[in-house]
Amino acid sequence: MEFHAPGRPGDLPPFDTLWARAAALAALEAGGSKNQHTYADAVVHHDDAGGNEWRLARIAGGRGVLVGADHECDDHVDIEGYDPYAGPDWLPWTWFTELENRREQGFAYWWDGAVWARIDYPDLIDDDGLGFLLPHLSTAERAANQVLEFLDVGSFSDAWEEGSPLVHRVLELAERGTGSEEEWRAALGGVLVFAARQDSQYVDCEEDEFDVAPALAVARATGLVKGSEAEVKPAGEGRPEGWVPRLG
């Protein structure tokens, strides 16, 4: 999948696909296989510890929001009147306020249940950072590579050949959405047992810190396990009067 500069709504996979991949990585991180994705309160958060991050939120009514900022592509946030939130009334305004009080966001994309959309950018925005921040979730292959690279597994090594199908199994269950708890426990356990055996400079965990239980809890909370219901943020009821970005 090709990303444009600046990003376009069509660059992104459908929300459910993007959510499945992001949530699967967050589940693995919760179990000890760190890969820079965490989950809390209906939001998957990716932070590369270098000033670049995004958040993917599930909103009531089958909708979703993606917001983020890349420190190399955020000059436009200082443009007077720049407002990436000029969208539908159902956007989560309270959450947006919390985000803006922490950091100015470089982009916002929203999923209405059928398609992604964003504001029309002014010509002076050359890049919003989407193409730097999201490519690793554009395909299941890239998502799996993200997990293995953070385990410091060499490409085409015996360990890679062993670990890749294990991670792909987790991603396949996530995207399919029909995996039972037993299937999820086995799939997550397979990756975490593999991860515990890797000698990685990126995974600061002892072997006993890899645990299926918290990973499975995230899989349930994000709606990946058959029969579970994904947590959601409430939809907004209209943009508050006078609401503007960067209230803090």
Give 44: exposed, middle or buried? Use CB within 10 Å, 0-12, 13-18, 19+: buried
Tell which residue, 48, 37, 25, 13, has the closest CA to residue 138.
13
- Is 22 in the same domain as 115? yes
Regarding whether 185 and 125 lie in a shared domain, the answer is no
Cα-to-chain-centroid distance, residue 147: 13
Q: What is the pLDDT of residues 200-238, one digit of tens each?
A: 554 555 556 789 999 999 999 999 999 999 999 999 999
Same domain, 53 and 95: yes
pLDDT, position 204? 57
Place of tokens 């720049």: 82
The 8 Å CB, 24+ separation contacts for 44-50 are: 44/19, 44/222, 46/22, 46/133
Residue 206 C-alpha from the chain's centroid:
26
- Specify if 209 maps to a domain: yes
Q: What is the pLDDT of residues 18-75, one digit of tens each?
A: 999 999 999 999 999 999 999 999 999 999 988 899 999 999 999 999 999 988 876 7
Instruction: State whether 33 and 121 are in the same domain.
Output: yes
State what percent of residues in the chain have pLDDT above 90: 77
Q: Is 197 within a domain? A: yes
Residue 149's pLDDT is what? 94
181 and 106 in a common domain: no
Asked whether residue 90 is domain-assigned, the answer is yes
User: Where does a domain end: 136, 155, 185?
Assistant: 136
Same-domain check for residues 55 and 120: yes
What is the pTM (predicted TM-score) of this model?
A: 0.94
Domain residues for the domain of 200 are 139-221
Residues in the chain: 248
Residue 147's pLDDT is what?
96
- Is residue 235 in a domain? no
Residue 63 lies in a domain: yes
Question: Torsions phi, psi of 107, nearest 5?
Answer: -155, 160
pLDDT-derived band at 98, boundaries 50, 70, 90 = very high
pLDDT tens digits, one per residue of 53-64: 999 999 999 999
Overall domain count for the chain = 2
Same domain, 96 and 207: no
45 and 122 in a single domain? The answer is yes
User: Are residues 127 and 182 part of one domain?
Assistant: no
Same domain, 107 and 217: no
Q: Are residues 190 and 127 in the same domain?
A: no
